[in-house]
Structures are given as C-alpha cells and as structure tokens.
Amino acid sequence: MPKHLVVCLILLVLISSCSTEEIVPERFYPRNDHEAYWYSLKQANLLSTALGKEWLAATERPFEEEIEVRLPYQEAFVISDLKPDAHGYRFEAKRGQKVLVDIGLISTDTTRVFVDLFRVENDSLSLYKQVASADSTLQLGFEPRRNAEYILRLQPELLRGGQFTITIQTVPTLEFPVAGKNKAAILSVFGDPRDGGKRVHHGVDIFAKRHTPVIAPVEARVRFVGTRGIGGEVIWLRDSKRGSSLYFAHLEEFKVKRGDRVQPGDTIGTVGNSGNARTTAPHLHFGIYKNGPVDPYPFIVPEYERPDLFLVDTTLLGKSMTLTTRRLLKASMNKRVAPLDTLHVEDEIRIVAVNHNYVRVEKPDGTFGFLEKDEVLK
C-alpha cells in the first residue's frame, strides 16, 4: 500500500476517535451536611424507596407547616424513628442581632440531626434562601444582613429519632459603648428630627457623666481621631469583622490614636459634650455606617432578657393520653387565632412537644395542634 494511503488511513482513525465526545461524570458539591446526606441516599438508590420518598417529602414540610414563634423560644420535642419527619420554626430577626440556636439531645441515641436556617424571600425567584447550617455540635450562629423572617428546619437521618430540646434567641452583635450603662441611658434614637425637621438623627445619644469611659464595642482599627464638624471631638473605628464604620462623637478625651487596634471593652475615649452638644448634658453620639447610616439600636441593646436553662418534664414527651374533658385544639400559640378543631371526651392525642405554656399534640389522623399546658396537666 502506498505510503500516502497509509497516512490518510491513520489520520481518519485519529479524527474519528477525537470526534467521540468524552463523557465526564458530573461531580456533586454539597453545600451543607443535609445535602451531602441527601446525595448519599440518592447514590444508594434509597430515595426511590417508599421510606426515601417520605424522608424527601418531610424535607419540605417545615416550609408548609412551620410553627410561628416569638423569641426567645424554648421547647422540648420528640421525633419518631418509625416515620420520617422534620420540624420548622418561623421567627423574625433584625439586622444588628445575632441569631443563636442550640439543640440538645435528651435521649441517649446518637441521632444525627441536620439544622438549617432559611431566610423568607417572597420574591419571584425563590421563596426561601438558605443562609446558615449548624455544625456537629448542633449549635448555629447567624447575623442577619437585613430585617426579615426566617425558618429553622430540623430533620434527623432516615429512621432515626429521639427526644430533643431547642433554644432560639437573639443577642446584640456589639457591646454597649458606654461603660456601666444600658438602654435606659439612650434618650434620643435613630430617626429623631433635628434642626426643626431639616435633618434626622443618624445614631443614638447615650447620656452619662463627663469622663465616663467610652469603650470599643467590637474588635476594630482606629481610622480617625480628632476634631470634626458638629461632632466636636470624634473617633472613627473600622469594624474588623463586618466592614462597617463606627462613629463616636462629642467626646471629652481621646485614649487611642489613629492606626491602633482595639478589642471589645478597651477604653477609646471619655464622654463629653464637644461640638454642637456644648449646650446639652454630656453624652455619646454613637452611629454606624455601611452604605449609609444604619440604626445602631439593635446592635447594642438586647431585645429581651436571655432565657434561663429550660427544665422540662420529659415524661410528657411521646405520651399518649385519652381526654376526659372537651378541649379546643389551636392552630398556633397565638391566642387570637381561631381554634383548629374541637377535641371531645375519649379522643386520643399524643404529646410531641412541650414549651413553657403549651404542648403540641398529634391526633390519630396526623393533625397537629396546640393545647395550653395547664389544661393537659390537670
């Protein structure tokens, strides 16, 4: 065979082999432990089974049957290991707060629970956006970027359950910037009118005696120290974690210089009445700026007292009982909401959760609702 024909045949073989598309297996990168577990069930062909489908359906239940709660909220609850289930808690949180979630395991089973937090979006693209997940300690911390509603989803592994406690609360992200003071010292808030309504107040005024220490509310770098405009003697800090600028005005003295790094609780100056505050009592004007002024109040003032350790009678969890009197089953813990159903004498209920004032019960038909705790304990 002539050489040029051999070369042509070789080229044809190479071209035909290159034209065959190589199939590369698609790789899956889970965003959290819940997705990783879902993928493991899929790989094992368990999602196509009846139990797998029930577990998958339970994944969506917290967004359809969520429990609306007011923070701080504490509850003890039970999840059966016989039927896939998931719980959802809906609550509000504000920018400047930190959401803290702590899940405790009452029963001795080593149940793995997936804890995920979603922001309610209510837009045309998506209804919910996942914003955080708990670590292996079943603790979650999250700082909202804006005021919004959130849904917390708890779901155990397939065919796993147990008894649990949950605490959901918020705390301020910054320390109070005047030593020894609290919200009672704030006498002017964000948005108050100034100069006869020509401008509004872009901060909070915290009143204290002259020379009271002004403290760094967070780890930060000192960006400016000096005299500037109506603020008089002022300090600007740069929040190392959040990238926001913190403004301290009407100071009497400086205790730091530009470029210093400060830790929470470090004294950076003292309260005074410099600038346009010369005719008022000594106070600190404290402001936060990030893409414009931000209300600092939720950053430094707790919305409520932190809850005590929740002590629960675990003998109620999972208990089935027969009613001896007529009861009104409520759809939520809001007393203004109309009753969901009427429970009659000798009706059967099962207690699935207990909090300070209510128990959550399940009827034989799978309906869930709330009864006042005192009614059940009578």
Q: Looking at the domain assignment, is residue 243 inside a domain? A: yes
User: Residue 16 above 60 pLDDT?
Assistant: no
Residue 96 CB contacts under 8 Å (≥ 6 apart), including other chains: 172, 173, 174, 294, 295, 296, 297, 298, 299, 300
φ and ψ at residue 318, rounded to 5 degrees:
80, 0
pLDDT tens digit sequence for 62-78: 999 889 999 999 999 99
pLDDT of residue 81: 87
Which of 230, 264, 295 represents a domain boundary (last residue)?
295
Here the CATH number for the domain that contains residue 334 is 2.30.30.40
Q: What is the mean pLDDT of residues 265-275?
A: 98
Q: Decide: 97 and 294 in contact? Cβ < 8 Å.
A: no
Tell whether 189 and 165 lie within a shared domain: no
What confidence category does residue 19 fall into, taking pLDDT thresholds of 50, 70 and 90?
A: very low
Q: Looking at the domain assignment, is residue 66 inside a domain? A: yes
Helix, strand or coil, per DSSP, at residue 230: helix
pLDDT tens digit sequence for 199-215: 889 999 999 999 999 99
Q: Decide: 105 and 162 in contact? Cβ < 8 Å.
A: yes
pLDDT of residue 15: 39
Q: What is d(CA 142, CA 138) in angstroms, rounded to the nearest whole number?
A: 13
Tell whether 215 and 325 lie within a shared domain: no
Pull the structure tokens for residue 155: 């779901």
Q: Decide: 317 and 354 in contact? Cβ < 8 Å.
A: yes
- Record the pTM: 0.86
Here the CATH number for the domain that contains residue 262 is 2.70.70.10
Give me the number of domains the chain comprises: 3
Tell whether 231 and 277 lie within a shared domain: yes
Q: What is the mean pLDDT of residues 338-360?
A: 92
- Higher pLDDT pick, 107 / 118: 118
Tell whether 318 and 237 lie within a shared domain: no
Other C-beta atoms closer than 10 Å to the C-beta of 322 total 9
Nearest to 300 by CA among 198, 195, 170: 170
Here the CATH number for the domain that contains residue 152 is 2.60.120.380
Which of 125, 147, 172 represents a domain boundary (last residue)?
172
Centroid of chain to Cα 299: 15
pLDDT tens digit sequence for 141-172: 999 999 999 999 999 999 888 899 999 999 99
Residue 324 CB contacts under 8 Å (≥ 6 apart), including other chains: 345
User: Residue 110 above 70 pLDDT?
Assistant: no
Which of 120, 142, 172 represents a domain boundary (last residue)?
172
Pull the structure tokens for residue 1: 């065979």
Range of the domain at 263: 183-295
